[in-house]
């Protein structure tokens, strides 16, 4: 065993094999590595995951991220103009990003309850909270500090 195995108290980790099996899918070391890397990095683009798990090739990283999202373990959002950033689907929060310094802040998704309710009541629209990122300017950048 070269890899430290999973902490059974963390949701999602111990159950990966079961979760996959329940969906007729096979547990693979790559799937565990990719899931663990996302958990560690908190938000990670495919490239960042790939750097964290050099033993898994990039194509497999992409495919695995998509698979883990399809089965409900990961969710993605876009924290910039480029690649999606993945995180654990169970982390229910929305992202506020400063587009000057790229600082990412996780805020409780309850902050947009009113928006969610109103869009639903007025237009029958269902908000995809996990995909939502709000861009703006952070307090430091507003104060003119640009380091």
Binding footprint of Zn ion on the chain (CB under 5 A): 98, 100-101, 106, 138, 141
Q: How far is the CB of 121 from Zn ion (least distance, A)?
A: 26
At 23 the three-state DSSP class reads coil
* Closer residue to Zn ion, CB minimum distance, 22 or 101: 101
CA distances from 59 to 24, 66, 88 (A): 22, 11, 20
Question: CA-to-CA distance for 138 and 134, rounded, in angstroms?
Answer: 11
C-beta closer to Zn ion: residue 25 or 100: 100
How near is the Cβ of 18 to Zn ion at its closest, in Å? Answer: 25
**Residue 77 in 3-state DSSP?**
strand
- How near is the Cβ of 92 to Zn ion at its closest, in Å? 10
- What is the sign of the dihedral through the CA atoms of 14, 54, 77 and 140? positive
């Amino acid at each position: 065993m070269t890899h430290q195995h999973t902490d059974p108290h963390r949701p999602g980790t111990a159950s990966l094999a079961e979760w996959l099996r329940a969906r007729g899918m096979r547990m693979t070391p790559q799937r565990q590595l990719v899931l663990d890397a996302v958990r560690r990095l908190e938000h990670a683009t495919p490239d960042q995951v790939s750097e964290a798990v050099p033993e898994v090739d990039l194509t497999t990283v992409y495919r695995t991220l998509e698979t883990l999202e399809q089965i409900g373990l990961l969710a993605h959002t876009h924290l910039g103009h480029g690649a999606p950033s993945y995180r654990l689907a169970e982390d229910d929060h929305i992202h506020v990003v400063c587009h000057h310094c790229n600082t990412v802040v996780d805020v409780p998704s309850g902050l947009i309850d009113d928006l969610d309710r109103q869009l639903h009541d007025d237009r029958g629209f269902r908000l995809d909270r996990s995909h939502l990122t709000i861009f703006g300017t952070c307090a430091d950048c507003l104060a003119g500090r640009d380091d």
